[in-house]
């Protein structure tokens, strides 16, 4: 279908902030390739009951919906009110998110166990220091044991957390004592990862929980089992296997794709797959084969959180965030997109079918119609990875140069700021940062995290909020798609300190760091928790006392519901840019945006305007500063 170039250009400018993204959005329109923005337009108007969270489709007495305004029904067939329906729906979303993070964590631990037992192929135990720290936390003796023996015991102890009957997740003890007491007082100390998720499923069954506040409180407990459990284990097990990230520099945006090399995009979340592909791509035989097929080499690039994992540890360039997945294919230059799970559009194979791109699915739990399925198992990981790279090379001659368009300006960025790396950059303790906060040079810190959502101009929420916060001398720490957005906008460079307020600028310049720090993938929001926990411990206070904030300006995913909830449950005020589906219940809204303060000293807020969101975060930070007497 012919589209006027001017119309396409205007539309692309509306859809995305980044020029390289705009360029490929235009190309996709001219190529007649459907994207998430087109699908969103076709869905208009979206269901108002659904948006308010007041439709219930849990049982066959329904589906039911509550009339929020008129004289229509105020209860579902079972008798559930708007409050209950909204609370159950929210807990459902949250539990799905916690399950996704935690199941990812479990898989990394299984690979750690296999590696310790010599059953995996190509993996090694890299970070022995972290292994030792965790062994100590579990009281596992290390004297006279090999690293494999220690890793075996550590992996088993961590795997046990998923169904532990000791009624306490070990890593929750990493929180400051005061924060732990707050959880105890509220009855939300996480007991085990699987237990909280299963119990969420139980509680939302008809005839179980009928008290919206009680349901939501369990939501906080479930989210803590993710943040301080499943996600934290995913982060730490990945660090043991692949190394704890240290600052590095790399490149970002669709311009990281190569005109003359075989392009392989690694999309999804779990580094156990992508790490092996990195090894396979270095195989001299495969490199030779690529040359024989007319390519100059093999170009691996990341996408979404598995991309973040590779970027953090190896400085592998990243092509983009969630809304870039279709655009990467629409460049016409991708030989293979390898997917594991989460945040992969089910229609990605339909997009790929418009070009020569092959989509390779690798997880038994995440098969996609139209994708080539290559099951990925730890015991044959390296062999399967080589097969995938070979497939990409064989596909290179099928690329049609007339349909290729690659933006030519990748942006430089810094990444690799694990909690340990930040502490080391400060000289081994948080004292310099604490001093800067006390003196007011830095007012506080905000974790800006989460997704893209076509309801908001791509990256606009992240970038505008980040800029606004650093201007106000608030340090920004980021993960997930938020961090990739900032990378594209040049905020992850030390030079970006020039955009910051004088105080933050002087600290960044002295340390040679950007004012926005990339801390990793979404499970690495656990690194943000540890940052808060360790600063609080040095000060002898709780996380809830610190001048911190959280934000998810463009979130879409249930995982983001869980992350925002464990931020709030850990005492961090958190602003959402997209309204959650709760506004059909004024009681739930009041609980989450107001009453929670009396429980966890933090609340949620909803504010789509990034400047107003920054106002809210700054005010919350000032309030905490005042309470600390600084």
For ligand BF8, the binding residues (CB under 6 A) are 269, 304-305, 321-322, 343, 450-451, 480-481, 521-522, 557, 559-560
Closest CB to ligand BF8 among 159 and 522? 522
CB of 308 to ligand BF8, least distance (A): 7
SS3 121: coil
CB of 437 to ligand BF8, least distance (A): 27
CA distances from 292 to 52, 261, 285, 337, 341 (A): 57, 12, 11, 21, 32
Closest CB to ligand BF8 among 17 and 522? 522
Distance of CA 498 to the CA centre of its chain: 27
Dihedral sign, Cα of residue 9, residue 11, residue 17, residue 18: negative
User: Which residue bears the tokens 């990467």?
Assistant: 328
CB of 148 to ligand BF8, least distance (A): 31
CB of 466 to ligand BF8, least distance (A): 15
Strands ordered across the beta sheet of 444-448:
516-518, 474-478, 444-448, 548-552, 573-576, 604-606
Which two structure tokens, joined as six digits, stand for 439? 């003196």
Closest CB to ligand BF8 among 80 and 516? 516
Closest CB to ligand BF8 among 56 and 451? 451
CB of 318 to ligand BF8, least distance (A): 11
Which two structure tokens, joined as six digits, stand for 94? 């949250």
Closest CB to ligand BF8 among 269 and 581? 269
CB of 339 to ligand BF8, least distance (A): 12
Interstrand relation of 411-415 and 318-320 (parallel, antiparallel or unpaired):
unpaired
Phi, psi torsion values for 372, nearest 5 degrees: -80, 130
CB of 199 to ligand BF8, least distance (A): 23
Helix axes 193-203, 212-225, angle to 10 degrees: 160
* Spatial contact of 378 and 113, defined as CB atoms under 8 Å apart: no
Rounded-to-10 torsion of CA 413, 416, 417, 419: 170
CB of 585 to ligand BF8, least distance (A): 25
**295 secondary structure, DSSP code:** -
Dihedral sign, Cα of residue 417, residue 421, residue 422, residue 426: negative
DSSP percent split of the chain into helix, strand, coil, nearest 5: 55, 10, 35
Closest CB to ligand BF8 among 164 and 342? 342
Closest CB to ligand BF8 among 58 and 104? 104
- Rounded Cα distance between 145 and 446, Å, is 41
Closest CB to ligand BF8 among 335 and 478? 478
Phi, psi torsion values for 426, nearest 5 degrees: -90, 5
CB of 461 to ligand BF8, least distance (A): 12
CB of 88 to ligand BF8, least distance (A): 22
Closest CB to ligand BF8 among 450 and 584? 450
Residues 6+ apart with CB under 8 A from 154: 112, 131, 134, 135, 138, 140, 240
- Rounded Cα distance between 274 and 318, Å, is 13
CB of 562 to ligand BF8, least distance (A): 10
CB of 45 to ligand BF8, least distance (A): 24
- Rounded Cα distance between 319 and 265, Å, is 8
Q: What stretch of H or E contains 526?
A: helix 525-539
DSSP string, 310-346: HHHHH---EEE-GGGHHHHHHTT--SEEEE-SSS--T
CB of 559 to ligand BF8, least distance (A): 4
Closest CB to ligand BF8 among 33 and 522? 522
CA distances from 572 to 185, 351, 378, 579 (A): 17, 39, 38, 18
Closest CB to ligand BF8 among 269 and 457? 269
For residue 605, what are the β-bridge partners?
575
CB of 484 to ligand BF8, least distance (A): 8
DSSP string, 79-127: ---HHHHHHHHHHHHHHHHHHHHHHHHHHHHHHHHHHHTT-SSS-----
For residue 336, what are the β-bridge partners?
264, 358
CB of 450 to ligand BF8, least distance (A): 5
Closest CB to ligand BF8 among 321 and 349? 321
CB of 430 to ligand BF8, least distance (A): 27
Q: What stretch of H or E contains 511?
A: helix 502-511
Residues 6+ apart with CB under 8 A from 285: none
Look at phi and psi of residue 617 and say left if phi exceeds 0, alpha if psi is from -120 to 50, else beta. Answer: alpha
Closest CB to ligand BF8 among 98 and 451? 451
Closest CB to ligand BF8 among 442 and 613? 613
**577 secondary structure, DSSP code:** S
Closest CB to ligand BF8 among 64 and 448? 448
Closest CB to ligand BF8 among 248 and 557? 557
SS3 541: coil
- Rounded Cα distance between 621 and 619, Å, is 5
């Amino acid at each position: 279908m012919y589209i006027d170039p001017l119309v396409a250009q205007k539309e692309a400018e509306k859809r995305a902030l980044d020029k390289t993204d705009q360029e490929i959005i235009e190309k996709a329109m001219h190529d007649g390739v459907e994207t998430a923005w087109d699908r969103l337009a076709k869905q208009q108007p979206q269901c108002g009951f659904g948006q308010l969270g007041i439709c219930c489709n849990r049982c066959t007495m329904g589906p039911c919906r509550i009339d929020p305004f008129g004289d229509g029904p105020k209860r579902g067939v079972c008798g559930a009110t708007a409050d209950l329906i909204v609370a159950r729906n929210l807990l459902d979303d949250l539990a799905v998110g916690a399950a996704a993070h935690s199941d990812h964590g479990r898989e990394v631990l299984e690979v750690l166990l296999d590696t310790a037992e010599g059953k995996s192929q190509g993996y090694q135990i890299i970070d022995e220091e972290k292994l030792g720290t965790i062994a100590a936390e579990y009281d596992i003796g290390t004297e006279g044991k090999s690293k494999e023996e220690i890793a075996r015991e550590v992996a088993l102890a961590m795997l046990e957390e998923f169904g532990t009957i000791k009624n306490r997740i070990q890593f929750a003890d990493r929180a400051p004592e005061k924060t732990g007491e707050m959880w105890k007082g509220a009855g939300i100390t996480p007991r085990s990862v699987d237990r909280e998720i299963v119990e969420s499923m139980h509680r939302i069954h008809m005839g179980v929980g009928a008290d919206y506040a009680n349901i939501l409180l369990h939501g906080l407990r479930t989210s803590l089992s993710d943040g301080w459990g499943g996600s934290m284990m995913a982060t730490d097990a990945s660090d043991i296997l692949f190394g704890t990230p240290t600052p590095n520099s790399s490149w970002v945006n669709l311009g990281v794709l190569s005109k003359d090399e075989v392009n392989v995009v690694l999309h999804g979340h779990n580094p156990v797959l992508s790490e092996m592909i990195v090894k396979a791509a270095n195989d001299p035989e495969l490199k030779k084969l690529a040359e024989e097929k007319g390519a100059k080499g093999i170009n691996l690039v990341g996408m979404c959180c598995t991309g973040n994992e590779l970027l953090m540890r190896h400085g592998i360039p990243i092509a983009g965030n969630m809304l870039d997945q279709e655009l990467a294919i629409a460049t016409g230059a991708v030989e293979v997109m390898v997917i594991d799970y989460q945040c992969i559009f089910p229609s990605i194979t339909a997009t790929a079918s418009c070009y020569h791109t092959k989509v390779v699915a690798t997880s038994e739990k995440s098969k996609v119609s139209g994708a080539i399925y290559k099951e990925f198992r730890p015991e044959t990981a390296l062999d399967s990875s080589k097969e995938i790279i070979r497939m990409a090379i064989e596909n290179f001659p099928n690329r049609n140069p007339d349909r290729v368009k690659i933006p030519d300006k990748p942006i430089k960025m810094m990444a690799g700021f694990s909690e340990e790396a930040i502490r080391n950059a400060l000289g081994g303790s948080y004292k310099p940062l604490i001093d800067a906060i006390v003196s007011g040079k830095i007012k506080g810190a905000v974790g800006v995290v989460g997704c893209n959502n076509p309801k908001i101009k791509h990256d606009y929420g992240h970038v505008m909020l980040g800029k606004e916060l650093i201007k106000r001398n608030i340090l920004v720490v980021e993960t997930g798609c938020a961090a990739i957005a900032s990378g594209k906008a040049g905020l992850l460079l030390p030079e970006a300190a020039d955009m910051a307020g004088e105080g933050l600028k002087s600290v960044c310049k002295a340390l040679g760091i950007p004012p926005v720090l990339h801390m990793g993938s979404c499970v690495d929001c656990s690194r943000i928790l540890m940052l808060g926990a360790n600063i609080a411990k040095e000060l002898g206070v709780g996380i809830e006392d610190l001048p911190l904030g959280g934000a998810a300006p463009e979130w879409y995913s249930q995982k983001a519901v869980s992350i925002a909830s464990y931020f709030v449950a850990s005492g961090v005020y958190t602003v959402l840019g997209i309204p959650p589906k709760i506004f059909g219940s004024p009681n739930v809204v009041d609980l989450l945006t107001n009453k929670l303060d009396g429980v966890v000293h933090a609340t949620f807020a909803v504010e789509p305007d990034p400047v107003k969101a920054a106002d809210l975060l700054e005010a919350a930070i000032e309030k905490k500063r005042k309470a600390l007497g600084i």
